[in-house]
């Protein structure tokens, strides 16, 4: 399990349940590495500001993370983390590599207005 204060998605079933029970979801699929940690930290800060968005993480190396790793939207990604934004169970945006707080809020505001 990743050492964050975010909701941890540990299985394909939990991934599905998360999407089915939340309209707006941001999942960061990564490791505890230098490109991922700043994204987790931004997500933890933003969680209190975006009440209508469910923030979660998933371990990239978990076999069940294939639900993120194998998405067509992630097929060209080369760097971790893979971040996927869902609205009503549909992918509205996917990014890879380090993202600043400003880059994340720009996406959140565009797809999940506060």
For the chain, report the end-to-end CA distance as a whole number of angstroms: 29
CB neighbour class for 27 (10 Å; exposed up to 12, middle 13-18, buried from 19): buried
Residue 1 belongs to a domain: no
Tens digits of residue pLDDT in 2-35: 999 999 999 999 999 999 999 999 999 999 999 9
* pTM (predicted TM-score): 0.96
Residue 44 belongs to a domain: yes
Q: Using the Cα atoms of residue 85, residue 87, residue 89 and residue 93 in order, give the sign of their dihedral.
A: negative
Assess whether pLDDT exceeds 80 at residue 114. Answer: no
Tens digits of residue pLDDT in 30-78: 999 999 999 999 999 999 999 999 999 999 999 999 999 999 999 999 9
Provide the pLDDT confidence category of residue 83 given band limits of 50, 70 and 90.
very high
Q: What angle do CA 47, 12, 46 make, to 5 degrees?
A: 5
**Rounded mean pLDDT of 75-83?**
96
Please give the pLDDT value at position 70.
96
The residue segments making up the domain with residue 97 are 7-112
Helix or strand or coil: residue 104?
A: helix
Closest CA to 103 of 52, 38, 58: 38
Residue 60 belongs to a domain: yes
Distance in angstroms (rounded) separating the CA atoms of residues 70 and 5: 25
- Return the CATH number at 31: 3.40.30.10
Beta strands in 1-114 (DSSP E): 7-8, 24-30, 53-59, 82-87, 90-96
């Amino acid at each position: 399990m990743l050492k964050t204060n975010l909701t941890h998605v540990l299985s394909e079933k939990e991934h599905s349940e998360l999407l089915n029970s939340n309209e707006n979801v941001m999942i960061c699929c990564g490791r505890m590495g230098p490109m991922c940690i700043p994204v987790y930290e931004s997500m933890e800060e933003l969680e209190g500001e975006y009440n209508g968005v469910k923030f979660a993480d998933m371990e990239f190396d978990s076999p069940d993370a294939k639900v993120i790793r194998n998405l067509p939207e992630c097929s060209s990604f080369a760097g971790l983390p893979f971040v996927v934004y869902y609205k009503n169970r549909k992918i509205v945006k996917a990014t890879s590599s380090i993202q600043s707080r400003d880059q994340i809020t720009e996406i959140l505001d565009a797809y999940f207005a506060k």
